[in-house]
Amino acid sequence: MPQHTHTAKQAAIAVIAKLRQEGAIALLAGGCVRDELLGLSPKDYDVATDALPEQVRKWFPRARVVGAQFGVVLVRKYRHDIEVATFRSDGDYLDGRHPEQVEFTTAKEDAQRRDFTINGLFYDTEKNEVIDYVGGQEDLRNKLLRTIGEPTKRFAEDHLRMLRAVRFAARLGFDVHPDTLSQIKQLAPKLRAISAERIAMELEAILAAPSRGCGWQWLIDAGLRGYLATSWSDDLSADRTALSRLSFLPDEEIPVSLAFAAVLCHLPRTIVNQVCHELRLSNRLTSDISWLIGSLPEAAHSRRLELADLKLLMAHPRWPELVILLNAEVSASGQAMSVYDELIENTRHIEKSAVAPPPLLTGDDLKSLGVNAGPQLGRLLSSLYRAQLNEKVKDRQQALAWLERMRNNQDDK
**Residue 159 interacts with ligand ATP (CB under 6 A): yes or no:** no
| Residue 250, C-beta contacts closer than 8 angstroms, at least 6 positions apart | 324
**Residue 223 interacts with Mg ion (CB under 5 A): yes or no:** no
- Select the binding partner of residue 223 from Mg ion, ligand ATP, none (C-beta < 5 to 8 A, by kind): none
Which residue stretch of 69-77, 155-163, 178-186, 276-284 sits at the interface with ligand ATP (rule: CB under 6 A)? 155-163
Minimum CB distance to Mg ion smaller for 31 or for 71: 31
**Can you list the alpha helix ranges (DSSP code H) found in 248-302?**
256-264, 269-278, 283-300
**Residue 80 interacts with ligand ATP (CB under 6 A): yes or no:** no
Minimum CB distance to ligand ATP smaller for 253 or for 306: 253
**Residue 151 interacts with ligand ATP (CB under 6 A): yes or no:** no
- Measured from the CB of residue 85, what is the shortest distance to Mg ion in angstroms? 12
**Which residue has its beta carbon closest to ligand ATP?**
31
Q: Which of 50, 132, 139, 158 binds ligand ATP (CB under 6 A)?
A: 158
Which residue stretch of 68-76, 113-121, 245-253, 377-385 sits at the interface with ligand ATP (rule: CB under 6 A)? 113-121
**Residue 161 interacts with ligand ATP (CB under 6 A): yes or no:** yes
Nearest CA among 310, 268, 320 for reference residue 293: 268
Determine contact, residues 161/198, Cβ cutoff 8 Å.
Answer: no
Q: Which of 9, 13, 16, 31 binds ligand ATP (CB under 6 A)?
A: 31
- Select the binding partner of residue 115 from Mg ion, ligand ATP, none (C-beta < 5 to 8 A, by kind): ligand ATP
**Residue 30 interacts with ligand ATP (CB under 6 A): yes or no:** yes
- Measured from the CB of residue 324, what is the shortest distance to Mg ion in angstroms? 28
Determine contact, residues 176/73, Cβ cutoff 8 Å.
Answer: no
| Strand-pair partners of 104 | 88
Query: How many Cβ atoms from other residues are within 10 Å of residue 1's Cβ?
Result: 3
**Residue 31 interacts with Mg ion (CB under 5 A): yes or no:** yes
Helix 161-172 / helix 196-208 crossing angle, nearest 10 deg: 10
- Measured from the CB of residue 182, what is the shortest distance to ligand ATP in angstroms? 19
Residue-by-residue DSSP string for 53-112? HHHHHHHSTT-EEEEGGGTEEEEEETTEEEEEEE-EEE--BSSSSSBS-EEE--HHHHHH
What is the helix (H) or strand (E) element at residue 397, kind and residue range?
A: helix 396-412
- Measured from the CB of residue 40, what is the shortest distance to ligand ATP in angstroms? 9
Q: Output phi, psi for 334, to 5 deg.
A: 70, 15
Minimum CB distance to ligand ATP smaller for 114 or for 212: 114
- Measured from the CB of residue 31, what is the shortest distance to ligand ATP in angstroms? 2
Q: How far apart are CA 260 and CA 253, in angstroms?
A: 13
- Measured from the CB of residue 342, what is the shortest distance to Mg ion in angstroms? 44
Total site size for Mg ion, rule CB under 5 A: 1
Residue-by-residue DSSP string for 357-377? PPPSS-HHHHHHTTPPSSHHH
- Select the binding partner of residue 259 from ligand ATP, Mg ion, none (C-beta < 5 to 8 A, by kind): none
CA atoms within 13 A on the CB side of 412: 6
> 3-class DSSP state for residue 190?
helix
Q: How far apart are CA 105 and CA 96, in angstroms?
A: 23
Contact flags string 42-61 toward ligand ATP, x per CB under 6 A: -x--x---------------
Footprint of Mg ion (CB under 5 A): 31
Footprint of ligand ATP (CB under 6 A): 30-31, 43, 46, 114-115, 119-120, 158, 160-161
